[in-house]
Chain A
Amino acid sequence: MATGRPSTVYLWELAWILPSIALPVGMLAALAVTAFGAGINVAGDRGRIDPAKVGEHALFKEPGIAEIAPGQYEVRLTGQIWSFAPNEIRVPAGSTVHFWATSKDLVHGLFVPRHNVNVMLLPGQIAHAQARFDTPGEYPIICHEYCGVAHHTMAGKIIVEARR
């Protein structure tokens, strides 16, 4: 590098600046493809809920799981210190699960590793996530936000059963 000559510095600068712009722009384009093309979305705005009256809300009167269409399941779930309700979900392999969830007290998390279920459960907000479960097995549902001294005990599981 011709570091002794100030007059050539700007050429080196330019040679670095152009790819430095191209790189993030290219990554953003890739991101847009996955978000709009493949439809992999993060949490959005699904409306408020009074955290003191979660049980009276239409969505959370009866937490649990229901088949809403062939292969489509809806899970209505609440988080509270230190448990999920329901804390065990069974679906057949190949199902798509739509989670509707909220918190009754503190900030909790709803995390199913490797399945695009990663959303915060905030008191006052309705959260939504969806994921497909293809491989039979048992998967943990983890609260991944610190919520007090027994936070590490707050977990549930999804049991994906092989189709007979």
Chain B
Amino acid sequence: MTAVERRLAAANVAVALVALFGGVVTGLFQALEYAGVEVYPSLAPAIRSHYHSLSMHGVLNALVFTTFFICGFVPFVLSRSLQAPLASAGLGWATFWVMAAGLVLAAIPLVGNAATVMFTFYPPLKAHWAFYVGLTLVVVGTWLVTLNLTLTWRAWRARHPGERTPLAAFMAMVTFAMWTIASLGLAAEMLVMLIPWSLGVVGGTDALLARTLFWFTGHPIVYFWLLPAYISWYTLVPRQAGGKLFSDPMARTSFILFLILSTPIGIHHQYTDPGIHQGWKLLHALLTFAVFFPSLLTFFNVTASLETAGRARGARGWLSWFVKLPWSDPSVAAQVLAMVLFAFGGIGGLINASFNVNMVVHNTAYIVGHLHLTVGTAVALTFMGISYWLVPHLAGRVLWSRALALVQVWLWFGGMLIFSPTLHELGLRGMPRRTDIGHISYMQPQWKTLLPLVGIGGAILFLSATLYFLNIALTATVARRAPQPAAEFADAVSGPDHAPAFVDRWRGWLALAAILIAIAYGPTLIRLAATTPLNSPGLRVW
């Protein structure tokens, strides 16, 4: 661990938080619009429409904030876990600049209303080519992170023959290995379809083939966001809370299952798409239920770890350990509250994945409510919690205000408790998502009564985020200078020596992942690629 790893982490986290700021501001606009406040006329010409704002909200939060934070945090964790510097500092900086260049390239058309296509950019909606090229460069950057992590880990293994890879490093490797496999779908969509088409090299495109490639990556990207949060929950939070990780073998097993099962399930986002046979949809439903299993393992293991912490702090009986957790530590409070809401996000996800039940919720406001529990809380609130120790550590300054941080954390939790259930309910009442609800011609009375709650919840979330940015900005610039420790890794009650050695043997697991993907996606992708005429011209109608 040298100064380079810290500077790399700081650079990535800084970009992530700037993106989050943009995402949060545009988020407020959506929430107010839902509540009937006419915001967009006063924002012209900077923001042209609900959809322009919504596209920025999705891309900045779900794609940019997450990816940059992860590319800062995970290599930092791996380096600390192995107690070794990254294999190549030069590669680390080259990676950062490739990703930053990609971000700028994509941001210009996005901000300029030339890429108002949402963060899913379904063709034949046709964005400016720079949007697709820029996002592709960001993905290429993540592959370079994989390369650097792999080189670092292999060098460590050569120096430590026969030693077990420490859990945090193992999880970091799984996260990026999973993502690298999963991102191949998006890469193919970009390189073969969208980029040549947006440049005018080919005349047309196809909606279904593009969607199928997109969701090949689009579901596992959720795990790419979540697994770094899990790394913190498993390896750091138990110790921050004063306890131990309950089971290292179970933690390793759950990550291996995520490696295998994250990708061959993407068609559960396409249950309502014509052109894919129902049998394949059922198979993806089955495998999605299978990936629920490592999530349940995580729920158990992390909860049991927190219980050891509460008991070490003097709790007795069945439930008082939860009350005894160090709630005055904003980093712990943020992450425990994120876990609480994520439990409901997981249950909701299972409903979404339930094949025909999906017809009740698909593309409704329910999905928006779900996504704000998962990426909007489990991931975002955890990353905020991590930054409450990471930013002071990187800046060499104390956290500007612990009290403000605690208020911020609880405001996020409370705001989400209003915002997300309301959207779930609106979805069940049939309100579509991604729609300028303030101007629809088909307003239903059963929606109208609930819409103000979306505005109130969204405003509380915005207030929380504002306090967060204020605290972090002051921490980085004016807070008292003093060396701040990084969070330490937790010991385990049941340690790595209890995990069978085959858990750490990569080749078999990677082969199994490839086989499952070939079975779940092979026939559909081959059929679509072989029979699809690229005959949809693009449209730019925003």
Listed in ascending order, the chain A residues whose CB lies under 8 Å from chain B are 1, 3-4, 6, 9-10, 12-13, 16-17, 20-21, 23-25, 27-28, 31, 34-35, 40-46, 48, 50-52, 81, 103, 105-107, 109, 111, 113-114, 116-120, 122-128, 140, 142-149, 151-153, 155, 157
> By the criterion CB–CB under 8 Å, are A128 and B435 in contact?
no
Inter-chain CA distance A140–B430, complex, in Å, is 10
Q: B276, B297, B357, B442 — which one has the most chain A CB atoms within 10 A of its CB?
A: B442
Query: Which residues of B490-542 are within 8 A (CB) of A?
Result: 493-495, 498, 531-533, 535-536, 539, 541-542
Inter-chain CA distance A127–B289, complex, in Å, is 27
> By the criterion CB–CB under 8 Å, are B122 and A152 in contact?
no
Residues of A within 8 A of B354 (CB): 27, 31
Listed in ascending order, the chain B residues whose CB lies under 8 Å from chain A are 49-51, 116, 118, 122, 124-125, 206-208, 211, 244, 246-247, 250, 271-278, 281-282, 285-286, 289-290, 292-293, 296-297, 300, 304, 307-308, 311, 350, 354-360, 362-364, 429-430, 432-437, 439-442, 444, 493-495, 498, 531-533, 535-536, 539, 541-542
> By the criterion CB–CB under 8 Å, are A20 and B297 in contact?
yes
> By the criterion CB–CB under 8 Å, are A107 and B274 in contact?
no
Q: Which of A20, A21, A123 contacts B207 (CB 8 A)?
A: A123
> By the criterion CB–CB under 8 Å, are A3 and B308 in contact?
yes
Inter-chain CA distance A19–B122, complex, in Å, is 39
Q: With A43-B272, A124-B536 known to touch, is A144 a contact of B285 (CB < 8 Å)?
A: no
Q: Which of B247, B290, B363 contacts A144 (CB 8 A)?
A: B363
B346 to chain A, nearest CB (A): 12
> By the criterion CB–CB under 8 Å, are B274 and A106 in contact?
no
B494 to chain A, nearest CB (A): 4
Inter-chain CA distance A140–B542, complex, in Å, is 24
Inter-chain CA distance A131–B531, complex, in Å, is 31
Residues of B within 8 A of A42 (CB): 271-272, 278, 281, 355-356, 358-359
Residues of B within 8 A of A116 (CB): 356, 359
Contacts A13-B300, A28-B289, A118-B272 known; list 9 others, CB within 8 Å: A6-B495, A12-B304, A24-B292, A43-B278, A48-B275, A118-B362, A122-B274, A147-B541, A148-B51
Inter-chain CA distance A46–B300, complex, in Å, is 43
Q: With A24-B290, A151-B51 known to touch, is A51 a contact of B275 (CB < 8 Å)?
A: no
Inter-chain CA distance A126–B362, complex, in Å, is 19
